[in-house]
């Protein structure tokens, strides 16, 4: 079942820029970005990582350009890359100019590090001549000392003013092919800064919690910041900054957008019950086995693993495909309808086989081919489990009777 993004706050309309073949802002889909961790001069190694990032869901990839060898590497990488390449520039204006010569599709400039107005305007003029957008990449950890002193620290106002100062330099040379980020490692500061940036600018915003750290904490911080803003309609492109294989960043970004209904589902969404006393199997083990078996098959489905047949198919009726355990058997269901009953030790294999058939034949065709006796078998198992373990752990029936009796007495 696809989640509708219309349930979220409508996305703010921003200007639109173009990085290679990818549009950012306006009505373009929110894009996913990541950054290579290889030495850019290592052309083959960097390209290998770029292809892995693209396969994991990255729409745009950033590479560092910190030395001549990196710029020369970019000249070889850009024409062979499956996605647009952005060059990351920190301190050296000559590296920005060299990256442009290498043919990159975008630049990222850190206003806190590249500070000379004439150098900034020189890069903007060169980028304008080539039709190359620039991201003004403000970072709370490298804020210009003057702004840090003015605001007494890295505040939302300081971050936004840093972007505004850079933007003013660009405007002096009639350059406005821009996107903006105001990142911080503090989730609360990051959210506040982007809210202010969204009110201040109509340029596309690149969202991210910088230096979020390793998994799982980094993933939680990134999701807390990025997800909050996306739900508020803020943001045009995103990047998780994890101390991990960058492929994890791309996967996380793609999954977040899919879970919010902001991108069409292309990958697996595996859901599972948290287990309870009625569970007939080790739900954690079965869910992990299913995840491992399905995650690399590029199945655009929501798949459910439920611990018992009592409530499983009903609670997960919205899932494209699922399996629930009961009485040493697995009850395979599609959109809540039981299609087959299999031995417990074949649950994961049956789930994988049905997923592949579902991809090939479609939901309606698979429902037509369901085992007509499976529903009756599943119902028998469900009733047997109810009789054995009960469906009323809170004694709701007795409580309801007592509520009715008391209310009747008071009338």
pLDDT in the model for residue 4: 61
- What's the number of domains the chain is made of? 2
**What average pLDDT score do residues 192-199 get?**
98
- Does the residue 159 lie in any domain? yes
Instruction: Give, in order, the Cα–Cα distances in Å from 155 to each of 15, 162, 207, 211, 407.
Output: 25, 11, 17, 17, 57
- CATH number of the domain within which 344 lies: 3.30.413.10
Task: Tell whether 194 and 73 lie within a shared domain.
Answer: yes
Residue range of the domain that includes 214: 5-259
Average pLDDT rounded to a whole number, residues 381-395 = 64
pLDDT at 67: 96
294, 238: one domain:
no
Of the residues 259, 293, 327, which one is the last residue of a structural domain? 259
Q: Is residue 280's pLDDT more than 60? A: yes
Per-residue H/E/C for 262-295:
CCCCCCCEEEECCCCCCCCCCHHHHHHHHHHHHH
Query: Above 70 in pLDDT, residue 391?
Result: no
CA distance 366 to 371: 10
Q: What is the pLDDT of residue 240?
A: 98
In a domain, 411, yes or no: no
The reply to whether 129 and 54 lie within a common domain is yes
* C-alpha closest to that of 43 among 73, 67, 72: 73
Query: Residues of the chain with pLDDT > 70: what percent?
Result: 95
Out of 238, 259, 280, pick the residue that ends a domain.
Answer: 259
Examine the domain organization and report whether 22 and 78 are in the same domain.
Answer: yes
pLDDT at 401: 81
On whether both 333 and 213 belong to a single domain, the answer is no
Q: Does residue 399 lie in a domain region?
A: no
Peptide bond into 97 cis (omega under 30): no
Predicted confidence at residue 389, as pLDDT, reads 58
Angle at alpha carbon of residue 27, lines to 22 and 28, rounded to 5°: 20
Same domain, 217 and 75: yes
pLDDT (tens digit per residue) in 51-81: 999 999 999 999 999 999 999 999 999 999 9
- Express the helix, strand and coil content of the chain in percent, nearest 5 each: 50, 20, 35
Task: Tell me: pLDDT of 249 over 60.
Answer: yes
In a domain, 397, yes or no: no
Q: In the predicted model, is pLDDT for residue 2 greater than 70?
A: no
| Beta-sheet pairing, 237-238 with 206-207 | parallel
Q: Which two tokens stand for residue 159?
A: 């971050």
Structure letter (DSSP) for residue 137: E
User: Residue 398: inside a domain, yes or no?
Assistant: no
For residue 386, the model assigns a pLDDT of: 72
**pLDDT per position as a tens digit, 323-352:** 998 778 899 999 999 999 999 899 999 999
**pLDDT given for residue 278 in this prediction:** 63
pLDDT reported for residue 184:
97
pLDDT above 80 for 312: no
What pLDDT, in 10s, does the model give residues 121-159?
Answer: 999 999 999 999 999 999 999 999 999 999 999 999 999
Q: Is residue 408 a part of any domain in this protein?
A: no
Strands across the sheet with 269-272, in order? 269-272, 302-306, 321-326, 329-334, 337-343
Q: What is the β-pairing status of strands 16-19 and 22-25? A: antiparallel
Whether 96 and 187 share a structural domain: yes
Contact predicate 354/339, CB 8 Å: yes
In a domain, residue 406? The reply is: no
The gap between the terminal CA atoms of the chain, to the nearest Å, is 47
pLDDT confidence of residue 393: 45
Q: Which of 86, 87, 45, 43 is nearest to 66 (CA)?
A: 87
Q: Are residues 185 and 46 in the same domain?
A: yes
Domain boundary residue, one of 259, 286, 313: 259
Q: Mark whether 102 and 30 lie in a shared domain.
A: yes
Same domain, 232 and 278: no
The reply to whether 409 falls in a domain is no
Kindly state whether residues 254 and 361 are assigned to the same domain. Answer: no
Tell me which of 60-64, 84-88, 317-321, 402-406 is least confident: 402-406
3 pLDDT exceeds 60?
no
137: domain CATH number is: 3.20.20.20
CB 34 within 8 A of CB 246: yes
What pLDDT, on the 0 to 100 scale, is given for residue 390?
54
Angstrom distance (rounded) from CA 41 to CA 64: 10
Same domain, yes or no: 210 and 120: yes
């Amino acid at each position: 079942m696809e989640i509708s993004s219309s349930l979220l706050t409508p996305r703010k309309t921003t200007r639109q820029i173009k990085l290679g073949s990818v549009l950012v802002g306006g009505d373009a889909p929110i894009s996913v970005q990541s950054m290579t961790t290889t030495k850019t001069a290592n052309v083959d190694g960097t390209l290998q990582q770029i292809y892995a990032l693209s396969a994991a869901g990255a729409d745009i990839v950033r590479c560092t350009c910190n030395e001549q060898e990196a710029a020369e590497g970019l000249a070889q990488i850009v024409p062979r890359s499956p996605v647009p390449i952005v060059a990351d520039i920190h301190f050296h204006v000559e590296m920005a100019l060299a990256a442009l010569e290498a043919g990159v599709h975008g630049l990222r400039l850190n206003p806190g590090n590249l500070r000379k107005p004439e150098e900034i305007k020189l890069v903007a003029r060169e980028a304008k001549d080539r039709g190359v957008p620039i991201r003004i990449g403000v970072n709370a950890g490298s804020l210009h000392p003057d702004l840090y002193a003015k605001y007494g620290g890295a505040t939302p106002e300081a971050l936004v003013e840093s972007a505004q100062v850079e933007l003013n330099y660009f405007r002096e040379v009639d350059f406005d092919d821009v996107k903006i980020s105001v990142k911080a490692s503090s989730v609360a500061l990051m959210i506040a800064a982007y809210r202010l940036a969204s009110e201040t600018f109509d340029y596309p915003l690149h969202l991210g919690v910088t230096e979020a750290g390793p998994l799982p904490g980094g993933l939680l911080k990134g999701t807390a910041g990025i997800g909050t803003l996306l739900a508020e309609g803020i943001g045009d492109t995103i990047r998780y900054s994890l101390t991990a294989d960058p492929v994890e960043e791309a996967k996380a970004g793609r999954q977040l957008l899919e879970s919010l209904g902001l991108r069409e589902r292309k990958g697996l969404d595996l859901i599972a019950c948290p287990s309870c006393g009625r569970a007939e199997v080790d739900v954690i083990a079965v869910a992990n086995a299913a995840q491992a078996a399905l995650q690399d098959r590029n199945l655009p489905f929501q798949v459910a693993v439920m611990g018992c047949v009592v409530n499983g198919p009903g609670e997960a009726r919205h899932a494209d495909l699922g399996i629930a355990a009961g009485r040493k058997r697995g009850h395979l269901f599609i959109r809540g309808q039981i299609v087959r009953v299999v031995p417990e030790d074949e649950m994961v294999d049956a789930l994988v086989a049905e997923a592949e058939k579902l991809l090939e034949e479609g939901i309606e065709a698979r429902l037509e081919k369901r085992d007509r006796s499976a529903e009756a078998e599943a119902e028998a198992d469900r009733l047997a489990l109810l009789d054995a373990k009960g469906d009323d752990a809170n004694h709701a029936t007795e409580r309801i009777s007592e509520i009715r009796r008391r209310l009747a007495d008071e009338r």
